Structure 1
Amino acid sequence: MRILVLGGTTEASALAARLANRADFNPLLSLAGRTRDPHPLPIPTRIGGFGGVEGLTRFLRHEDIEAVADATHPFAAIMSRNAAEACARAGVPLLALRRPPWTRQEGDRWIDVPSMEAAVAALGETPRRVFLTIGRMELSHFAAAPWHTYLVRTIEPVGDALPVPNVVAIRDRAPFDEAAEHALMERERVDVLVTKNSGGAATYPKIAAARILGLPVIVVARPRVPAGVEEVATADAALDWLERRHARTP
């Protein structure tokens, strides 16, 4: 069974590991290419975009793809919409593999917002020291509030993504440690944390550290999975879905 895994997440890597060396599956992992040095994975991998819905539809047909597992980041809304449209056009079954979102715990001081623009507004007019853990692609939104000081943590260099006077850039990659996150926020005198509700254990320590420090956390809600797309939360559940699909294939 020819499978396309849209990856870039821990869940995609876990699914790739489960598909490796399976004689009944012929998987291909696709990465967007935004991270320069992705970790090596145990199945064939392609890097780069498809060219929108039209390009992905052609790819599915040309490669004889029989099922697609969308294991992209929970905030990769455009890719997920394109996958849903392309799979519908090509008649290919699609599954969304999404880790569960974080939920508010006792002691959390969350400010839930629906968008990155709303996160900027929630910072207010008083200058603050803001810890941004939202990835490089979304940083430009915060140029609308240049009076804050921003501590920015990304995998790739920040470059000119956030053109404001006061930026402290940190390059690091998950998983993170709660004690280290606590120490970082204390050392940098962070007033507020801004994060996407990505879910997962690898980046949760910042949430736990903010709780202990009593810091407010602006939490951007994740986009919905496209209508009509089945969703599972684990690589094992995704593998079960693929096995059931394969069993029904003539």
Structure 2
Amino acid sequence: MAPTVRVLILGGTSEARSLAARLSEASDVEVVSSLAGRVRDPRLPEGEVRIGGFGGVAGLRDWLRDNAIRAVLDATHPFAARISSNAAAATTEAGLPFAVLQRPPWSPRSGDSWLEVDSLDAAAAALPELGRRVFLTIGRQGVDRFATVNADFLVRAIDPPEGPTPARMTLLLDRGPFDVGRESALMREHRIDVLVSKNSGGDLTVAKLTAARELGIPVLMVRRPPNPLGVTVFDGVDEAERWLLAVAG
């Protein structure tokens, strides 16, 4: 019997959970999923799970060595730029295979009114020209960037934001998936006139974009940070699974 090979999935996304579930059926692969620990009640994947940071590039490199990891797949949120960069550097130093699994970004469709910006700071600066009743759907991190914007905010996140928040804010704690009818009703109830979102991609929260299109509400969309240079990027779980099984074999 071939020895079991340990692989690390940097997770926290639905794609990471799906991949861990698939690989749990492979008798010769042992999956360790790592979660950042920023969500209070995360959805846990199958198999071994560790929660918390590694201590930068050096800490991750040493952890990979001490835990006999043979390959690393980054399936974190598209905006988790720091861990992606650290993982690329740590695996390079350790001489380990590394790739990224990242769902495709959303693209504007006919009838959409999008303004795309490169950062949350740029989004906050652009808001006064777009609307005064804002549906802020960026999660709990980064809400402080909008603390001084003179507008009424409906903020939706899984956990409450930390740090400064807008003076006029209604907080809605909720987790996707969401449907178009519910999103439309929510925007009408709060008389939303601009939607702010990160370009996370995927199906769990895309309904807000459809609702905004149907209601004629403009969208202020924050572009993704770039992936580390030279890294292989998969946009589907099937490709990522084949890659992990190949490098672990």
Q: Give 2:156's aligned residue.
A: 153
Which residue type is aligned with residue 96 of structure 2?
Answer: V
Of 120, 130, 134, 2:138 maps to 134
Which residue type is aligned with residue 87 of structure 1?
Answer: T
Q: Is contact 1:127–1:149 with CA below 8 Å preserved after alignment? A: no
SS state at 1:40 partner: coil
Of 13, 16, 33, 2:37 maps to 33
Offset, 1:125: 5.8
The answer to whether the aligner puts 1:242 opposite 2:241 as a matched pair is: no
Of 97, 112, 121, 2:101 maps to 97
Note the 1:174-193 alignment, pairs <5 A. 174-193=176-195
Instruction: Name the CA distance, whole Å, in 2 between partners of 1:80 and 1:167.
Output: 32
Instruction: Map Cα deviations across residues 91-123 of structure 1 (whole Å, 9 max, x no partner).
Output: 111010000000110000000111111111111
Which residue type is aligned with residue 48 of structure 1?
Answer: G
Offset, 1:185: 0.2
Instruction: Name the CA distance, whole Å, in 2 between partners of 1:86 and 1:190.
Output: 44
How high is the sequence identity, in percent, across the aligned residues?
Answer: 50
Moved over 3 A (4+): none
Q: Give 1:64's aligned residue.
A: 68
User: How many residues in Structure 1 have an aligned counterpart in Structure 2?
Assistant: 245
Q: Which runs of 5+ in 1 are unaligned?
A: none
- CA distance 1:162–1:149, change in 2 (3 Å): farther
Q: Is contact 1:136–1:161 with CA below 8 Å preserved after alignment? A: no
Q: Give 1:88's aligned residue.
A: 92
Instruction: Map Cα deviations across residues 41-66 of structure 1 (whole Å, 9 max, x no partner).
Output: 21110111101111101101111111
The answer to whether the aligner puts 1:119 opposite 2:130 as a matched pair is: no
RMSD of aligned residue pairs (Cα, Å): 1.2
Q: Is contact 1:111–1:219 with CA below 8 Å preserved after alignment? A: yes
Q: Give 1:205's aligned residue.
A: 207
Q: Which runs of 5+ in 2 are unaligned?
A: none
Instruction: Map Cα deviations across residues 123-173 of structure 1 (whole Å, 9 max, x no partner).
Output: 12686011100011111111231x111100000023x53433200000000
